Amino acid sequence: MLTFIALSDPTRRRIVELLAEGERSAGELGECFDISAPAISQHLKVLKEAHLVQVRAEAQRRIYALDPTGLEELEDWVHRIRGFWSERLDVLEKRLVANPEKKKRRPT
């Protein structure tokens, strides 16, 4: 899943956070970091390939915004994982309530 690879880098996570506040040009994003413009471009490329950001041309500038596609993919994954654990915890709770004598006792 490219989304997690893209978000594994703290600079890219910060770019996503900045874009959550609103659209920005590549130059505006670059001003927020102490790295080169080519490095920012590389981070934006990774985020774009993961469908986390989208870009549009506005004269000579490139304007970046969050791409809902990648965020929906991430949200779907979290939902599936949350469902997995919810079901198992529900089963565990039912078993513990049904068999209270089988609860482990802490050693004294």
* 43 is a domain residue: yes
> Sheet holding 53-58: strands in order across?
24-25, 61-66, 53-58
Alpha carbon distance 15, 83 (integer Å):
29
Angle at 16 between CA 40 and CA 67, to 5 degrees: 105
How far is residue 57's CA from residue 59's CA, in Å, rounded to a whole number? Answer: 6
Per-residue pLDDT of the chain (108 residues; tens, 9 = 90+): 789 999 999 999 999 999 999 999 999 999 999 999 999 999 999 999 999 999 999 999 999 999 998 888 888 888 888 877 777 777 777 778 887 666 555 666
The tally of domains found in the chain comes to 1
State the CATH number of the domain containing residue 59.
1.10.10.10
Reported pTM: 0.73
